[in-house]
Amino acid sequence: MTDIQQLVQRYQEENLALPIWFEEGTLKVIDQTKLPFSEEIMTCSTVEDLGEAIRSMQIRGSGAIGICGAYGLYLAALVSNGDPEAVKEAGVLLKSTRPTAVNLMKTVDEMTAAIKGAGQELIEVMEAKAVEILERQLAFEYELGRNGAELIEDGDTVMTHCHSGALGGAGYGGRALSVIRTAHEQGKNIHVITCETRPYLQGARITAYELKKFGIPHTLITDNMSGFCMSTGRIDKVVVGSDRVSANGDLANKVGTYMHALAAKEHHIPFYTATSSHTIDFETPSGADIEVEMRDASEVTHLKGIAIAPEGTDALYPSFDITPNALISGIITEKGVISAPYSTNLKKVNAEADKVSQ
Ligand code: RUB
C-alpha cells in the first residue's frame, strides 16, 4: 500500500472528509460548487485541470487549496515522469490561481524546496512530502480545535461566517468548525449561527451541510442579519477561519468578516479567528499589505447563472476583507490561543513554527 492509500484508509476509519485524493494516477476532488445537493466527484488529470478547479471554486477554502499545492506538485511529478522543471512550473501555475490565502503559497514552496536533492526519487519524494503536509494540517485541526473549544461554554451560541470546515481544510473541521466540532464532541450544548455568505453562499451550502453531518444544531441567517442577532442577545461568540493573518494580527478572511467583527465589538461579543501557525504570514507586516482577490462582477449580478440585477449593472466583488487586529479577541492556533499585543505574541508562535515549515 502506498502512503497515499494508507492515508485514504485512515480517513475512512476516523470518519473524516477528504476534499481531494489520488485514485489511479489522477486527482479526485469533491466539487464544492455542487454541494449540498449532490456530492459530485470530479477528476483532475493534469495540473491545469486542478488550477481551473481552484479558480472556479470547485475546490476552495484556505486549507484545502493548500493541500492542492502539495498534491498538485505530486501530480506534476507523476505526469511528467519525475521532471523537476515540470514540477516547478506546476507550482508557479497553482500559485497564480488565488492570491489571498497564504497556505497555497507555503505548501508550493515547501514541495518545491523538496525537489532539491530528490534526484531519481522525485516521484517518491513528492508523494511522501504531500502526505506529510496533509497529515500535519490534519493534526493542526485537532489541536487548534481543542485549544479553541476551551473558549466555548456549555449553552453558547456561536456565529461563523463562510465555510471554515472539513472540506475546506484537511478533513476534520478546517479551522472554525474544528473549534465548534470539538466543543460539540466534548458534550457542550452549543448552537451555531451560520451566515449564508453572499455571493458564493458557502455558509448556506457547505457550512450548513457539514453542521448537519456532524449533528450540530444550527440556524442559517443572511449576512446582513448578524447585527440584529447580536443586538438581541442571540450570539455569545463569533469564530471565523482565516485566509491569512499578517504579522501584526490583522486578518484576511471571507468578505463580510469585517462587518461582523465591528458589530461584535459594539456588543461586547468575543470575536475569534481560528487559524494555524502556517497561516500567519510574518513576511506581511499588516493587513494593508495583503492582496485581496477581486473576482468577476458577474458572480454578484448572477446567482447560479440567473441574473438578479438589470443587464449591464456595475458590481464589485472583493472576495475577502481585512479585519484590524483591534477587533480580534484572540487568535486560536494549534499552539494555543494568542491574545494582544499580536505583534509581540505571534512571534512566540513563529519561534515554534520555525521548527516545522508548516
Ligand atoms: C475561503 C474561506 C473563508 C474561510 C477561511 O474563501 O472559505 O475565508 O473562512 O477558513 P473561499 P479556513 O471560499 O473564497 O475559498 O481558515 O478554514 O480556510
Helices (H), ranges, 253-305: 257-266, 298-301
**Residue 202 Cβ contacting ligand 1 at under 6 Å:** yes
Residue 325's φ and ψ, nearest 5 degrees, are -55, -25
State the pLDDT at residue 351: 66
The set of cell numbers assigned to 213 is 453531518
> Chunked in runs of 10, what are the mean pLDDT values of the chain (358 residues)?
78 86 92 95 97 97 96 97 97 97 96 91 96 95 98 98 97 97 98 97 98 97 98 98 97 98 98 96 97 96 95 97 98 97 90 51
Cα 248 to Cα 257: distance, rounded to the nearest angstrom: 18
345 is in an annotated binding site: no
Q: How far is the CA of 83 from the centre of ligand 1 (A)?
A: 32
- Domains of the chain in sequence order: 3-141 (1.20.120.420), 151-357 (3.40.50.10470)
Cα 307 to Cα 116: distance, rounded to the nearest angstrom: 50
The set of cell numbers assigned to 276 is 494555524
Nearest CA to ligand 1 atom 7: 61
145 is in an annotated binding site: no
Q: Is residue 303 helix, strand or coil?
A: strand
Residue 322: which H helix or E strand, with range? strand 320-323
CB 179, CB 273: distance < 8 Å: no
Q: How many other C-beta atoms can be found within 10 angstroms of the C-beta atom of residue 96?
A: 11
CB 132, CB 87: distance < 8 Å: no
Question: Scanning the structure block, which residue is given the C-alpha cell 455569545?
Answer: 236
254 is in an annotated binding site: yes
Q: How far is the CA of 119 from the centre of ligand 1 (A)?
A: 36
State the pLDDT at residue 357: 41
Q: Which ligand 1 atom is the nearest neighbour of the CA of 60?
A: 15
CB 319, CB 100: distance < 8 Å: yes
Give Dmax (Cα) for the chain: 64
> One-letter amino acid identity for 329?
S
Please pick, among 156, 223, 236, 243, the residue that the annotation labels catalytic: 243
Q: How far is the CA of 55 from the centre of ligand 1 (A)?
A: 14
State the pLDDT at residue 356: 46
Q: For this structure, is 243 an active site residue?
A: yes
